């Protein structure tokens, strides 16, 4: 049975995800700390700490952009062709790593040089990123990364990891990546757009090989920068985060 504090925190969290923040982040963090101290094994933390990797948006870029205001700030990032993985750190220590299929690949990823085993932080941090083979064509990169995750033995020297997002954070996309960089993660290059009409310009630059050529890419990803807007869209669509969409050839 849920305690009053757990129900209250869930209520605040639900309002926040619907774009109606009722208390400050500092006040919410304090409530979480109180709940963690009194009931660390409650359902709230089990759900919050569950490590998941949602898929990219499947609709067309045209439909995606039509649903946005013309001056919505967007970030364009490379769609690196490799294997998506999620990392979970607890009190600074790498606790778990999973693949897209939910397979535990922790023992594999601790061998990747780009993935820190320890971080200077407390609490839980969940990171989403891509394991890939640099200096390879996109299909070869994906094949090498997936082969490494499947094999019982393998060499990790030829693989890199690029961190895209802090999953359990209220930071916007730009700030999330900036924080990851400060923690020692490699992050992808990005292009900032202040108007949705600019997306087509950068798509053409990518097709011409003038954008993100240092990565094995099979497309670009257009992301809404605002975390508030991201959360509203996540709440309305649980199958995949309707705040980012991939553009392929």
Residue 184 above 70 pLDDT?
yes
CA-CA-CA-CA torsion sign (10, 11, 12, 15): positive
pLDDT band with cut points at 50, 70 and 90 for residue 219: very high
Mean pLDDT of 95-123: 91
Whether residue 88 contacts residue 96, with contact meaning beta carbons closer than 8 Å, is answered with: yes
Residue 235: pLDDT above 80? Answer: no
* CB-CB neighbours of 70 under 10 Å: 9
Strand partners, 60: none
Query: What percent of the chain is predicted at pLDDT more than 90?
Result: 55
pLDDT at position 94: 96
User: When comparing pLDDT for 221 and 27, which is higher?
Assistant: 221
Distance in angstroms (rounded) separating the CA atoms of residues 44 and 149: 31
Does residue 111 contact residue 156 with C-beta atoms inside 8 Å? yes
Q: What are the sequence ranges of the domains in the chain?
A: 4-48, 61-247
Query: Would you state the pLDDT for residue 84?
Result: 93
Average pLDDT, the chain: 87
CA distance 238 to 97: 22
Which pLDDT does position 4 carry in this prediction? 92
List beta partners, residue 87. Answer: 97, 127
Token pair belonging to 24: 């400050």
CATH number, span 61-247: 3.30.470.30
């Amino acid at each position: 049975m849920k305690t009053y504090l757990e129900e209250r925190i869930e209520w605040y969290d639900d309002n926040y995800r619907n774009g109606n923040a009722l208390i400050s982040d500092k006040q919410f963090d304090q409530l979480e700390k109180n709940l963690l101290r009194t009931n660390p094994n409650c359902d709230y933390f089990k759900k919050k700490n569950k490590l998941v990797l949602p898929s990219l948006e499947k609709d067309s870029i045209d439909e995606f952009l039509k649903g946005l205001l013309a001056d919505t700030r967007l970030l364009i990032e490379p769609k690196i062709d490799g294997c998506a993985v999620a990392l979970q750190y607890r009190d600074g220590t790498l606790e778990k790593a999973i693949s897209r299929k939910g397979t535990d690949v922790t023992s594999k990823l601790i061998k990747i040089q780009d993935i820190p085993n320890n971080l200077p932080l407390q609490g839980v941090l969940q990171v989403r990123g891509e394991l890939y083979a640099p200096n390879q064509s996109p299909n070869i990169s994906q094949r090498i990364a997936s082969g490494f995750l499947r094999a019982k033995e393998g060499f990790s020297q030829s693989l890199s990891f690029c961190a895209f997002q802090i999953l359990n954070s209220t930071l916007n996309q730009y700030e999330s990546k900036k924080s990851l960089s400060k923690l020692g993660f490699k992050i992808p290059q990005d292009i900032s757009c202040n108007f949705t009409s600019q997306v087509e310009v950068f798509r053409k630059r990518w097709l011409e090989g003038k954008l993100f050529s240092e990565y094995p890419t099979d497309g670009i990803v257009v992301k809404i920068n605002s975390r508030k807007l991201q959360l509203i869209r996540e709440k309305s669509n649980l199958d995949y985060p309707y705040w980012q969409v991939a553009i392929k050839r």
